[in-house]
Amino acid sequence: MDFILGPLYTLFGWLTRVFYDFFGNYGVAIITLTVLIRGLLIPLNIKSQKSMLKMQALSSKQAELQRKYGDDKKKLQEEMVKMQQENGAMGFSGCLLPFLQLFFIWPIYRIVSGPLIYLSQVPSENVSKMIELGQTMNVIGKTVSEKIHIGLVSALNTNGEFLNSCISKGYIALDQLLDLHFLGVDLTMVPSFNPVTIIAQPKVYLPLLLIPILVVLTQVLTMQFSKFLKPGYKQEQEAKQRAKNNPAREGQIQENSQTEMTMKMMNWSMPLIMLVTTFTMPAAMGLYWIVGGIMGLLTQVLVYFLFTKPYELKKAELEAKKEAVFKKKAAASSEAEDEQKNSNKKKKNKRK
């Protein structure tokens, strides 16, 4: 993993240090890096949404293929792929987007867990020597490692004797120590839900509790926005309501309810997983997730107004035109039928 992602660690670490030097604030540097990463993913998000809209526009053709090749699954799949390729509706970007979002989490985690290497540019062998010295002096725990050395950063910032020893041995220079706070919160600290820990240091841990709360809030909002702003949401809800009012479709309703319940459990599992993991990682990682969630919300709103809403308005316009043509034909047919009846009636009267 380090061999594959090593260049990405270096790149992200360098960018974070550039932003830190420019803004003079670690939190703002993390925010800027997050905005940059998520901004680069916006074109993929737009492409994914376009593909989804095209797939919805092809729903009638898809239904036709299912009626035609319903018994031949292999042929149906081939024709579906062919139809998607011809209309540019392949969904690869939709799969790539979440993969990249997950892929970028690991480099960010490595940077916020090892700031001395990736931000302060302290050689990794010097970090190992400082960890060994700190464990000998009993100022850091045994769990601190070269890759995850938040405890080492804390010891350097709070223990003068240890800091002087590291400087005198040439392990680190004084100007390599960075201020890793944001709005008074130490972003190297790990949030805690333990009441004893919070009561012991309320000024440290009470503000940190905002990080997990905001992480879950942004994830839930992103999930809800994704549901409400997706193409055809209103029509989908109307179809569900019609199905509920139709006793003949009771079996289908139960099947759909089970599917919806499974989807809800899957959707809610992500915020819960992120809540748990936020309590095991430095607060800077939670800040990345919060800003990423806000960027996701803004992207969804942007894509909705640029593509989804115009598509749905156009679709509604076409459906209104079709309905008007249908009503006109029905009226013309009814009028012709009335004329035929009147003509027949006149013929009968003449015979009489």
Distance CA 192, CA 14 (A): 30
Summarised one tens digit per residue, pLDDT across range 273-307 is 888 889 988 999 999 999 999 988 888 888 888 87
Which residue, 14, 296, 30, is CA-closest to 185?
30
Determine what percent of the chain is predicted with pLDDT higher than 90: 20
Q: What is the pLDDT of residue 273?
A: 84
Count of domains forming the chain: 1
- Helices then strands, counting H and E runs in the chain, come out as 17, 2
Residue 332 lies in a domain: no
Q: Of how many residues is the chain composed? A: 352
| 47 CA to centre of own chain | 15
Distance CA 163, CA 160 (A): 5
Is the pLDDT confidence value at 161 over 80? yes
User: Structure pTM?
Assistant: 0.77
Residue 246 lies in a domain: yes
Residue 263 lies in a domain: yes
Q: Which two tokens stand for residue 4?
A: 């594959």
Summarised one tens digit per residue, pLDDT across range 17-44 is 999 999 999 999 999 999 999 888 888 8
Question: What is the DSSP track for 296-329?
Answer: HHHHHHHHIIIIIHHHHHHHHHHHHHHHHHHHHH
Across residues 182-206, what is the average pLDDT?
89
Give the residue numbers spanning the domain of 189. 2-119+178-319
CB 145 within 8 A of CB 124: no
Residue 110 lies in a domain: yes
Is the pLDDT confidence value at 257 over 70? no
User: What are the backbone angles phi and psi of residue 99, rounded to the nearest 5°?
Assistant: -65, -45
Determine what percent of the chain is predicted with pLDDT higher than 70: 70
Residue 126 lies in a domain: no
The confidence band for 318, taking pLDDT boundaries of 50, 70 and 90, is confident
Q: What is the pLDDT of residue 44?
A: 81
Is the pLDDT confidence value at 212 over 90? yes
Is the pLDDT confidence value at 154 over 60? yes
Distance CA 308, CA 84 (A): 19
Q: Which two tokens stand for residue 73?
A: 């699954």
Which of the 8 DSSP states describes residue 194?
-
Q: What is the pLDDT of residue 167?
A: 93
Q: What is the pLDDT of residue 320?
A: 77
Across residues 150-159, what is the average pLDDT?
86
CB 44 within 8 A of CB 93: yes
Is the pLDDT confidence value at 312 over 70? yes
Across residues 344-352, what is the average pLDDT?
62
Distance CA 221, CA 153 (A): 34
Residue 272 lies in a domain: yes
Amino acid at position 251, single letter = G
Q: What is the pLDDT of residue 258?
A: 61
Q: What is the pLDDT of residue 253?
A: 47
15-19, 275-279, 317-321, 347-351: segment of lowest average pLDDT = 347-351
Residue 280 lies in a domain: yes
Averaged pLDDT of the chain: 79
59-63, 274-278, 317-321: segment of lowest average pLDDT = 59-63
Residue 241 lies in a domain: yes
